[in-house]
Amino acid sequence: MSFDALHSKWFLPGFSVVMGLVMLAAASYGGRTGDGIAMLVVMTVVGAAILLGGRSETIRGLRGDGRDERMALIDLRATAYSGLVLIIVIIGMFIYEIAQGHSGAPYMLLGAVSGISYIAFVVLLRLRG
């Protein structure tokens, strides 16, 4: 996929709909078609809101077509902060699970993947300068 395609205003809305269809397929496979349809509706509404909310700088930044260096930096920082929140929740849930006498799965695996990927990206980005 070309770089320009990723920054098209259609990419994120289209991706939302595709994810909705994947969720529908997975839910149907698991015998929960009704939930899958609801997920598809939600993802389609999200995609439509992103596509049609063009006057908002936030929407255009998320969508990609209105992204300049400041919005790219905001996106990077928001990704980092949300990743930090996710890590905290994963660690919290892992501790809760083992305190309940469970194995800690899947939180142990998620935490390990997060930690290893973070170290790998630090090394990679450091090598790239």
CB-CB contact of 16 with 45 (8 Å): no
Measured from the CB atom, the residue of 57 and 97 that comes closer to other proteins is: 57
Is residue 66 near other proteins by the rule CB under 8 A? yes
- Nearest-Å Rg of the Cα atoms of the chain is 19
Tell me: does residue 71 bind other proteins (CB under 8 A).
Answer: yes
Least distance CB 57 / other proteins (angstroms): 5
Q: Residues 91-110: x/- map of binding to other proteins (CB under 8 A)?
A: --------------------
Contact predicate 75/103, CB 8 Å: no
The verdict on 70 binding other proteins (CB under 8 A) reads: yes
Packing angle of the helix pair 69-99, 107-128 (nearest 10 deg): 150
Distance CA(50)–CA(70), nearest Å, equals 19
Query: What mask, x for binding other proteins by CB under 8 A, covers residues 4 to 43?
Result: ----------------------------------------
